[in-house]
């Protein structure tokens, strides 16, 4: 048998493909409820936006309840220690124009959900799916970003 006609047998175990790791941006609702979210519903690799970090930083100041303020401060510190937040950068700003326009086209108010739209823009600019507890808040944005309900 000539070398040109020889075939090499490939072990069957090499033909198995490993599932591709999922990557995604967690919106603020997922971070806030992280302790009650089913871990299997989250991506293998996750990130948060600087906008989420800003919302978490405001959280302790938005309540007069001392225990709740302490819980919110703990959550902020935990999130800041767990993730390096993705910045709202120039590409995110450009993507925000598309997100804003799509929101308006769908008949939804863009002003009342500004933080959500900024987080969505960050996910889209970084090519990440957006994991959220509030998927209905992102209706009309499916052509821009993949929204994953958690």
Percent of the chain at pLDDT > 90 equals 79
Instruction: State the pLDDT confidence band at 18, using cuts at 50, 70 and 90.
Output: low
Position 113 scores a pLDDT of 86
Query: Does the pLDDT at position 2 exceed 50?
Result: no
Condensed to tens digits (0 to 9), the pLDDT of residues 80-125 reads 999 999 999 999 999 999 999 999 998 887 677 899 999 999 999 9
Residues 6+ apart with CB under 8 A from 106: 139, 140, 141
In this predicted structure, the answer to whether residue 66 has a pLDDT above a threshold of 90 is yes
What pTM was computed for the model?
A: 0.84
CB atoms within 10 A of CB 85: 17
Average pLDDT, the chain: 90
In this predicted structure, what is the pLDDT of residue 95?
98
Average of pLDDT values for 58-62? 97
E strands within 16-128?
A: 23-26, 45-47
pLDDT at 145 over 90: yes
Contact (Cβ atoms closer than 8 angstroms) between residue 126 and residue 86: yes
> Do residues 50 and 87 lie in contact, with contact meaning Cβ atoms separated by under 8 Å?
yes
Q: 107: left (phi > 0), else alpha (psi -120 to 50), else beta?
A: left
């Amino acid at each position: 048998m000539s070398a040109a006609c020889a075939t090499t047998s490939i072990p069957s175990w090499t033909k198995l493909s490993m599932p591709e790791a999922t990557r995604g941006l967690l919106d603020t609702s997922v971070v806030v409820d992280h302790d009650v979210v089913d871990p299997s519903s989250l991506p293998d690799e996750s990130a948060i936006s600087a906008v989420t970090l800003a919302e978490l930083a405001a959280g302790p100041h938005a309540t007069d309840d001392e225990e709740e303020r302490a819980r919110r401060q703990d959550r902020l510190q935990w999130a800041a220690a767990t993730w390096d937040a993705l910045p709202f950068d120039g590409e995110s700003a450009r993507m925000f124009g598309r997100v804003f326009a799509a929101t308006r086209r769908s008949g939804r108010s863009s002003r009342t959900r500004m933080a959500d739209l900024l987080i969505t823009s960050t996910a889209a600019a970084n090519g990440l799916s957006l994991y959220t507890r509030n998927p209905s808040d992102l209706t009309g944005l499916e052509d821009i970003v993949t929204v994953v309900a958690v």
